[in-house]
Structure formats: C-alpha cells, structure tokens
Structure 1
Amino acid sequence: METPKRAGDAPIALDLKAGKRYSWCSCGLSKEQPLCDGSHKGTNFTPILYKCPEDETKWFCTCKATNGQPFCDGTHNK
C-alpha cells in the first residue's frame, strides 16, 4: 500500500483536551476515524501524533490528502 485509503469526504471535528496525545490515522484503514486503531500494521504508514496544548476543537482530515497533517486544509474540495 503506497497511498492512503480515502476514509471520508469531509473533516471530523474533535474536542481535544489539554496535554492529551492524539494519534491521527494516516493510512485511512482505521475503523475509528480520524484516529488510529492500529490498522496500519503491515503497511508503510505510521500514525501522526499531536499533543494538544490547550482545550480546543480541531478538524481532522479524513481524505488523507491534506498538506497540513493531521488537520484538514480543504484538499478534499479540490
């Protein structure tokens, strides 16, 4: 698997907690989108880690084509 699987056509908003680490699925195989569930095992993909600096809402990419991993940059609209 050289390219990620498109897991969706729109970003998913998550309410994040300060100090918590989140693992974004970069392969598109996770059943827990947009977060990693370990489905990348056996591929050349690894999750992208994000440590939240403060309580906030972030929009995570599901098309897996964003240039701003792990966050949506609107690439799914192109």
Structure 2
Amino acid sequence: MSSKQPYKLHIEPGVVYSWCSCGFSATEPLCDGSHRTETENKRSVKFQSDNAKDVMLCMCKHTKNPPYCDGSHNQFE
C-alpha cells in the first residue's frame, strides 16, 4: 500500500495514462514498469478521458474501480 489517501491528478484529453496497481513504482500513482521485475501477477491499468479533468486515483490498491479511488482506504483507518 503506497498511501491510505487518494492522489488528485489532472488528466488531459486523449492522453493514455498507466496507473500502477502493484505499489512498486517510483512514479506513483503512475506506472514505471517496476511490476515487471517485482511481481508477475500485477499489470498497469490504462485509462484516458475525452476531456480535461481532475481525478482521484487510488493509492491503497484496494479499489473495486481501478484506477479511481472508491473509498476502500477507509477500511484501513
């Protein structure tokens, strides 16, 4: 678990982002490919938007709606 709090990220239209699902990335919450050497059962989650907006990305890695925070971190507080 990287953090118990979500990360606010401004995303731009048409840009493909890769959310880190393993917690090993040095560029959290975005993937840097660390899962390729640290674990075999994790992959990045690609996402994009049609418009510019702020999103809340999950940092605890327990969301049921990856990559977005769904409040799952509250179970750990």
Q: 1:46 aligns with which of 43, 48, 59?
A: 43
Q: Which residue of 2 aligns with 1:8?
A: 3
- 2:31 maps to amino acid: C
Cα-Cα RMSD: 0.7
Asked whether 1:68 is paired with 2:74, we answer no
Report the TM-score when normalising by structure 1.
0.89
- Partner Cα separation in structure 2 for residue 69 and residue 57 of structure 1: 15
Point out 4+ residue stretches in structure 1 off by more than 4 angstroms. none
Unaligned ranges ≥5, structure 2: none
Q: Which residue of 1 aligns with 2:28?
A: 33
Report the TM-score when normalising by structure 2.
0.91
What CA deviation, in whole Å up to 9, does each residue of 1:29-50 have, x standing for no partner? 1111110011100321110000
Deviation at 1:51, TM superposition (A): 1.5
Secondary structure, aligned partner of 1:41: helix
- More helix as a share of residues: 2
Identity %: 41
Number of equivalenced pairs: 73
